[in-house]
């Protein structure tokens, strides 16, 4: 199958059933690393961009600004390409260099928070403050605000629908990042 855009590859990730010895339980693993950005965050990033476009909060050619330590930023960079948007990722010293390199390769502009933060401190509040400030300064920009964005959940709802269509009834769900 040939796709016309990278975001067409988001979702429909494989699922593996692992055998459990002496158990009536079925264990499945959903391989979300097979999304184009390498994580399930691609789902919610694209969903937030689509919702912002539909609502008119952003228009083609506009700018997305988001605080990210990596995975959401990669997903937003991918969605920005599809919809002709500029993307600015606000990161701190904890963001992995490989994820920053991927965001840059996808056209994202990287801005670092300022301040003296210890190695064990993550500057989430400062990242969010700075992202909101940058968005306010740029005409046609929005702070995506993944932490408080109702469209964030929509990407995960798609994941649940996909799981149910693949395996049927789900009695328990355990999500993990690794």
Residues marked active site are found at: 41
Three-class DSSP labels, 57-107: CCCCCCEEEEECCCHHHHHHHHHHHHHCCEEEEEECCCCCHHHHHHHHHCC
Cα 62 → chain centroid? 18
- 49: alpha, beta or left? (left if phi > 0; alpha if psi -120 to 50): alpha
**Which residue in this structure is represented by tokens 């469209």?**
151
Residue length of the chain = 178
């Amino acid at each position: 199958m040939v796709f016309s855009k990278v975001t067409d590859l988001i979702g429909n990730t494989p699922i593996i059933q692992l055998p459990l010895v002496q158990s009536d339980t079925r264990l499945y693993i959903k391989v979300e690393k097979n999304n184009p950005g390498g994580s399930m965050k691609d789902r919610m990033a694209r969903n937030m961009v689509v919702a912002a476009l539909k609502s008119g909060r952003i228009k083609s050619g506009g700018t997305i600004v988001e605080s990210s330590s990596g995975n959401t930023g990669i997903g937003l960079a991918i969605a920005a390409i599809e919809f002709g948007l500029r993307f600015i990722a606000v990161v701190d010293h904890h963001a992995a260099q490989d994820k920053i390199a991927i965001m840059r390769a996808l056209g994202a502009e990287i801005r670092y928070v300022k301040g003296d933060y210890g190695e064990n401190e993550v500057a989430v509040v400062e990242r969010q403050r700075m992202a909101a400030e940058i968005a306010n300064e740029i005409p046609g920009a929005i702070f995506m605000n993944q932490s408080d964005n109702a469209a964030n959940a929509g990407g995960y709802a798609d994941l649940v629908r996909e799981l149910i269509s693949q395996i049927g009834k789900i009695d328990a769900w355990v999500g993990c990042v690794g």
